[in-house]
Amino acid sequence: MFARLQMAWSLGFHIIFAAVGIGMPLLMAISEYRWLRGGREECRELTKRWAKGTAIFFAVGAVSGTVLSFELGLLWPGFMRHAGAVIGVPFSLEGFAFFTEAIFLGIYLYGWDRVRPWAHWWAGVAVAASGAASAVFVVMANAWMNAPAGFDFDASTGEFSEIDPVAAMFNPAWKAEVLHMLLAAYLATALAAAGIHALQLLRRPRSAFHREALRITMGVAAVCALLQPLSGDYAAKVVAETQPVKLAAMEGQFASEASAPLRIGGWPDERRARTRFALEVPGLLSFLAHGDRHAVVRGLNEFPREDWPPVAVVHVAFQLMVGLGILILSVSAWFVLAAWRSRGAPLGRRLLWAIVLCSPAGMLAIEAGWTVTEVGRQPWIVYGVMRTSEAVTPMPGLAGPFLTFVLVYVGLAAVVVALLARQVRAAPVAAGAE
Query: Which residues lie near other proteins (CB under 8 A)?
Result: 52, 55-56, 58-60, 62-67, 69-70, 72-74, 77-78, 80-86, 88-89, 91-96, 98-100, 102-107, 109-115, 126, 163-166, 393-396, 401, 404, 408, 412, 415, 419, 422-423, 426, 430
Contacts of 267 (CB under 8 A, 6+ apart): 275, 276, 277, 278, 312, 315, 316
What b/e string do you get for 171-198 counting C-beta neighbours within 10 Å, with b at 16 or more? Answer: bbbbbbbbbbbbbbbbbbbbbbbbbbbb
At its nearest, how many Å lie between other proteins and the CB of residue 302?
A: 33
At its nearest, how many Å lie between other proteins and the CB of residue 74?
A: 5
At its nearest, how many Å lie between other proteins and the CB of residue 149?
A: 14
If the CB atoms of residues 164 and 292 are measured against other proteins, the closer one turns out to be: 164
If the CB atoms of residues 190 and 398 are measured against other proteins, the closer one turns out to be: 398
Distance CA 103, CA 94 (A): 14
In order of 24, 64, 274, 399, the CA distances from 408 in angstroms are: 24, 11, 41, 14
If the CB atoms of residues 284 and 412 are measured against other proteins, the closer one turns out to be: 412
At its nearest, how many Å lie between other proteins and the CB of residue 411?
A: 9
Distance CA 174, CA 69 (A): 20
What are the two backbone dihedrals, phi and then psi, of residue 113, each rounded to the nearest 5 degrees?
-100, 5
At its nearest, how many Å lie between other proteins and the CB of residue 425?
A: 10
Instruction: Determine the residue type at 47.
Output: T
At its nearest, how many Å lie between other proteins and the CB of residue 99?
A: 4
If the CB atoms of residues 106 and 117 are measured against other proteins, the closer one turns out to be: 106
If the CB atoms of residues 283 and 401 are measured against other proteins, the closer one turns out to be: 401
CB atoms within 10 A of CB 277: 9
If the CB atoms of residues 90 and 309 are measured against other proteins, the closer one turns out to be: 90
Distance CA 46, CA 27 (A): 10
